[in-house]
Chain A
Amino acid sequence: MTTQTSQSEILTVTGVGVTLAGRPVLDDVSFTIAPGEFTGLIGPNGAGKTTLLRVVLGLQQPTSGAVIVDGRPLSRHNHAAGYVPQKVLLEPDLPLRAKDLVALGIDGQRPGIPLRSRKRAEAVREMLHAVGAESFADARVGELSGGEQQRVLIAHALISRPRLLLLDEPLANLDIRSSQEIVTLLAKIATEQQVAVLLSAHEINPLLPVMDRVIYLANGRAATGTTEEVIRTDVLSRLYGYHVDVLHVHGRILVVAGPPEAAAGVPTDVALQAG
Chain B
Amino acid sequence: MFSGFMVNAWIVATIVAVIGGVVGFFVVLRGSAFPAHAIPKGAFAGAAGASLLGINTLIGLGAFSLLAALGIGRLGRRGRSDVVTALALVLMLALGAAFLSRTSQYEPEIYSLLFGEILGVSTTEIVPVAVLGLVCLVAVAVLYRPLMLSSVVPDIAEAKGIRSYRMQMAFLVVVAAATTVTVPVVGALLMFSLMVGPPAAARALTSRPALAMALSVVIAMVTVWGAIAISYQSNWPVGFFVGVFGAASYALGRGAAALRSRVAGQQSSAIAAATS
Contact = CB atoms under 8 A, between A and B. Distances in A.
The answer to whether A and B touch in the complex, with CB atoms under 8 Å apart, is: yes
Interface of A: 57-59, 76-78, 81, 83-85, 87-88, 90, 93-97, 100-101, 104, 107-114, 138-141, 153, 156-157
Contacts, number: 91
A148 to B, nearest CB: 15
Contacts of B212: 95
Given A95-B209, A96-B209, A113-B144, A108 B157 contact: yes
A109 B145 CA distance: 6
Contact of A140 (B29, B160, B207): B207
A141 B208 CA distance: 11
Contacts of B83: none
Nearest to B148: A104
Contacts of B158: 59
Contacts of A104: 145, 148-149, 152
B70 to A, nearest CB: 21
Given A88-B156, A153-B156, A157-B156, 18 more contacts: A58-B159, A76-B161, A81-B159, A85-B153, A95-B29, A95-B202, A95-B206, A95-B207, A96-B207, A100-B209, A101-B153, A104-B148, A104-B152, A109-B145, A113-B144, A139-B207, A140-B207, A153-B153
A114 B149 CA distance: 12
Give the interface SS of chain B, mostly helix, strand, loop or mixed: helix
A110 B257 CA distance: 33
A95 B145 contact: no
Contact of B159 (A59, A113, A140): A59
A111 B152 contact: no
B132 interface: no
Contacts of B156: 83-85, 88, 153, 156-157
A77 B152 contact: no
A139 B209 CA distance: 12
Contact of A90 (B145, B152, B204, B208): B152
Interface of B: 29, 141-146, 148-149, 152-153, 155-162, 202-204, 206-209, 211-212, 257
Contact of A100 (B144, B146, B208): B208
B145 A107 contact: yes
Contact of A101 (B152, B157, B162, B257): B152
A183 to B, nearest CB: 21
Listed residue (B141, B142, B149, B155) with the most chain A CB atoms within 10 angstroms of its CB: B155
A77 B159 contact: yes
Contacts of B161: 76-77, 109
Contacts of A113: 141, 144-145
Contacts of B203: 93-95
29 contacts: A59-B158, A77-B159, A77-B161, A83-B159, A84-B156, A85-B156, A87-B155, A88-B153, A88-B155, A95-B203, A95-B207, A95-B209, A96-B152, A97-B207, A100-B209, A101-B152, A104-B152, A108-B157, A108-B160, A109-B146, A111-B143, A111-B144, A111-B146, A112-B142, A112-B145, A113-B145, A139-B207, A141-B152, A153-B153
